[in-house]
């Protein structure tokens, strides 16, 4: 309670299981079918506030409504050919969403058409 | 920044009449299929898949084609950069098989002349509805010196194999060109189809 910094320290400790020298320490796989998305140490860990549509939209939503959640931990990939296996959706606004190439689970992240960079959300994938 | 993580990159296109199953082939559409509502609404444009062939790490970038595209609307810009084409028909639909010849002509007109082609007779899980025999598929492929395979996106038959064979053919061609730039192309064009002998598709 007296130490507000404790929070950030804990956060760092959590990611250190996955992040080494700023990169992904482990292989990144699909949570559902374990298809390999990225090799070790090929993506850079970044903290940024960015919304992603939910994987499961549910049936109770209104027509055209897209439920999203705010995520703040991503892996940054600056060249799409670094991916081992990945799917790109059609364009929505200025993005293409990223999916598992084998079971199409997603979005696991997004591709920005302006910068041509890709971002994979840590919470949407498996480290192994 | 990151070092190159592959040896070669091949761009592949899926082409054929509407309804033959191109999107399902890209989607794979197998039992462990798991398309979320959000993803299936938007649809997948292309995939990157990594395969290993003869010790080389190869990235395949595989593109689906938009639904209503017909051969007369597909032109040069569409084929740009494509090194391999999967030409798909539906074994339960005669028209889609007849159109293969038109697609081949379109490819000849608009695609890079040394693009590697492969013909796929899809939906081979629907034996009871078959109207195009496997022999006819093999015959037309032999006639054009193109590889052939029957596939089922639904039962996940030969899909992976088809892509690795196409990739291997591109690799062969590239190797030939490196070794003998003047003669490789001619040699490749005359090489008979290496389509494997009749293999039961879904039995
Ligand atoms: N039984 C069976 N049905 C299939 C197979 N592949 C695709 N289908 C069905 O065929 C229909 C058309 O498949 P699509 O993948 O949408 O066809 P397409 O070639 O992408 O068509 P367009 O996008 O209109 O050009 C769908 O209803 C699929 O379920 C298969 O291997 N077996
Ligand atoms: Mg389609
Ligand atoms: Zn998956």
Rounded to whole angstroms, how far apart are CA atoms A127 and A34?
10
Q: Is residue A20 part of a domain?
A: yes
The 10s digit of each residue's pLDDT in B15-63 is 999 999 998 898 764 444 555 678 888 888 999 999 999 899 999 999 9
The 10s digit of each residue's pLDDT in B128-187 is 999 999 999 999 999 999 999 999 998 889 999 999 999 999 999 887 766 554 443 433
- Is the previous residue joined to A69 through a cis bond, with omega within 30 degrees of 0? no
Asked whether B18 lines ligand 1 (CB < 6 A), one says: yes
The domain total for chain A is 1
Q: Is residue A44 part of a domain?
A: yes
Q: Is residue A63 part of a domain?
A: no
Instruction: Report the residue of chain B nearest A35, measured CA to CA.
Output: B49
- The A residues from 69 to 108 touching B (CB cutoff 8 Å) are 77-92, 96-97, 99-107
B173: its two tokens = 């061609």
* Mutation site, A41, A51, A82, interface B, largest B CB count within 10 A: A82
- Measured in Å, residue A37 CA sits from the centre of ligand 3 at 9
- Measured in Å, residue B122 CA sits from the centre of ligand 2 at 13
Say which CATH number the domain at A37 has: 2.170.150.10
CA distances in angstroms from B81 to A38, B56, B183, B197, listed in the order given:
25, 21, 22, 31
Asked whether B21 lines ligand 1 (CB < 6 A), one says: yes
Its pTM stands at 0.83
User: Which among A42, A58, A86 has CB closest to B47?
Assistant: A86
The 10s digit of each residue's pLDDT in A1-15 is 444 444 444 444 467
Range of the domain at A112: 5-55+68-127
Q: Is residue A60 part of a domain?
A: no
Q: Is residue A62 part of a domain?
A: no
Of B64, B72, B74, which is closest to residue B12 (Cα–Cα)?
B64
Q: Is residue A61 part of a domain?
A: no
Chain centroid to Cα A92, Å, comes to 17
Rounded to whole angstroms, how far apart are CA atoms A100 and B34?
10
Q: Across the interface, do B38 and A101 touch by the CB < 8 Å criterion? A: no
Inter-residue contact B61 to A86 (CB < 8 Å):
no
């Amino acid at each position: 309670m007296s130490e507000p910094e404790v929070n950030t320290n804990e956060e760092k400790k959590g990611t250190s299981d996955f992040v080494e020298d700023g990169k992904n320490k482990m292989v990144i796989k699909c949570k559902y079918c374990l298809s390999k998305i990225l090799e070790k140490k090929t993506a850079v860990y970044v903290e940024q506030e960015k919304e992603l549509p939910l994987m499961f939209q549910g049936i109770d939503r209104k027509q055209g409504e897209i439920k999203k959640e705010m995520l703040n931990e991503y892996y940054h990939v600056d060249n799409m050919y670094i991916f081992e296996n990945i799917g790109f959706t059609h364009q929505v606004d200025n993005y293409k969403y990223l999916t598992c190439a084998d079971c199409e689970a997603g979005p696991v992240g997004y591709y920005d058409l302006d910068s041509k960079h890709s971002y994979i959300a840590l919470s949407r994938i498996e480290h192994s | 920044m990151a070092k190159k993580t592959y040896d070669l990159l091949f761009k592949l296109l899926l082409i054929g009449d509407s309804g033959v199953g191109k999107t399902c082939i890209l989607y794979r559409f197998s039992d462990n299929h798991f398309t979320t509502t959000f993803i299936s609404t938007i649809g997948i444009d292309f995939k990157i898949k990594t395969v290993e062939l003869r010790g080389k790490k190869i990235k395949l970038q595989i593109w689906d084609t938009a639904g209503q595209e017909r051969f007369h609307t597909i032109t040069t810009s569409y084929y740009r950069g494509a090194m391999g084409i999967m030409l798909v028909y539906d074994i339960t639909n005669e028209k889609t098989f007849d159109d293969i010849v038109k697609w081949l002509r379109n490819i000849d007109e608009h695609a890079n002349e040394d693009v590697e082609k492969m013909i796929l007779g899809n939906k081979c899980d629907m034996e009871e509805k078959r109207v195009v025999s496997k022999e006819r598929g093999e015959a037309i492929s032999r006639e054009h010196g193109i590889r052939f395979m029957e596939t089922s996106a639904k039962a996940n038959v030969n899909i992976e194999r088809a892509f690795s064979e196409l990739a291997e053919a591109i690799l062969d061609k590239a190797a030939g060109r490196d070794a003998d730039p003047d003669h490789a192309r001619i040699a490749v064009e005359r090489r008979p189809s290496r389509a494997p002998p009749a293999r039961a598709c879904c039995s």
